[in-house]
């Protein structure tokens, strides 16, 4: 009789994950140009350039078509001027590749956009699963005052294209504070594609 082989032991909790194959971090200094308020960004940069704004841990068994990348993204709370902390955002290099995000803790938004500029949002609270359909630009936004932690899963051959947002001067909408809440604001620098 053959012995069973041990499968990968991934444990993913709001505090972090075990069994990761990789990690990356984005510091405040990596996010230059993302936020509307350049003065507020410069003021924070002066004292917090090296602060990690978000980090991503992942389990990537391979990059093969049909394989899956699973991981956890942790986005800190805070604002640059009125605008909430967010990830750079991307579209998958293979445009038709999809993704799910399961909110483990915190409060935020999955801010999505179609190529013709239609904004789609899913508000994230613990337990919510956001679905990113094919050909949707997507970024996470932290609307709360604690870390926004999401478990994500997407095809291993998807890839990330960041140029799509850069060429349009950002996404069409920005998530900004509104009293104690939030609202979406038109991005004045947006260039329709």
When the beta carbons of 139 and 173 are compared against ligand G6P, the nearer one is 139
Query: CB–CB of 101/159 below 8 Å?
Result: no
Q: Around 5, how many Cα atoms within 13 Å sit in the side-chain half-sphere?
A: 2
Does 58 sit near Fe ion (CB under 5 A)?
no
Q: How many residues bind ligand G6P (CB under 6 A)?
A: 12
Q: State the binding partner of 87 from Fe ion, ligand G6P, none, CB within 5 to 8 A by kind.
A: ligand G6P
When the beta carbons of 49 and 162 are compared against ligand G6P, the nearer one is 162
Q: How far is the CB of 1 from ligand G6P (least distance, A)?
A: 40
Structure token digits, residue 102: 């399961």
Alpha helices in 29-187, H assignment, sequence order = 38-48, 163-166
Structure token digits, residue 73: 């993204």
The residues in 128-157 that bind ligand G6P, with binding defined as CB under 6 A, are 139, 152, 154
Query: CB–CB of 75/142 below 8 Å?
Result: yes
User: Whole-angstrom Cα distance, residue 70 to residue 59?
Assistant: 5
Does 160 sit near ligand G6P (CB under 6 A)?
yes
User: Whole-angstrom Cα distance, residue 40 to residue 43?
Assistant: 5
Q: Are strands 108-114 and 136-142 parallel, antiparallel or unpaired?
A: antiparallel
Does 60 sit near ligand G6P (CB under 6 A)?
no
Q: Which window, 30-38, 92-100, 111-119, 166-174, contacts Fe ion (CB under 5 A)?
A: 92-100
Binding site for Fe ion (CB under 5 A): 99
Binding site for ligand G6P (CB under 6 A): 26, 56, 73, 87-90, 99, 139, 152, 154, 160
């Amino acid at each position: 009789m053959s012995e069973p082989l041990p499968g990968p032991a991934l444990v993913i909790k709001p505090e972090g994950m075990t069994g990761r194959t990789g990690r990356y971090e984005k510091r405040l200094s990596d996010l230059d140009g993302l936020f509307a308020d350049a003065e507020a960004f410069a003021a924070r940069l002066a004292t917090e350039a090296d602060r990690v704004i978000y980090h991503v841990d992942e389990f990537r068994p391979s990059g093969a078509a049909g394989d899956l990348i699973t991981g956890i993204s942790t986005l800190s709370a805070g604002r640059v001027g009125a605008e909430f902390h967010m990830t750079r955002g991307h579209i998958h290099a293979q445009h038709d590749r999809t993704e799910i995000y399961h909110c483990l803790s915190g409060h935020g938004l999955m801010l999505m956009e179609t190529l013709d500029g239609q904004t789609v949002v899913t508000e994230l609270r613990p337990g919510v699963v956001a679905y990113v359909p094919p050909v949707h630009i997507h970024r996470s936004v932290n609307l709360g005052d604690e870390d926004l932690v999401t478990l994500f899963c997407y095809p291993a051959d998807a890839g990330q294209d960041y140029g799509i947002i850069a060429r349009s001067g950002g996404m069409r909408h920005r998530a900004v504070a509104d009293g104690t809440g939030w609202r979406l604001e038109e991005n004045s620098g947006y260039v329709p594609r």
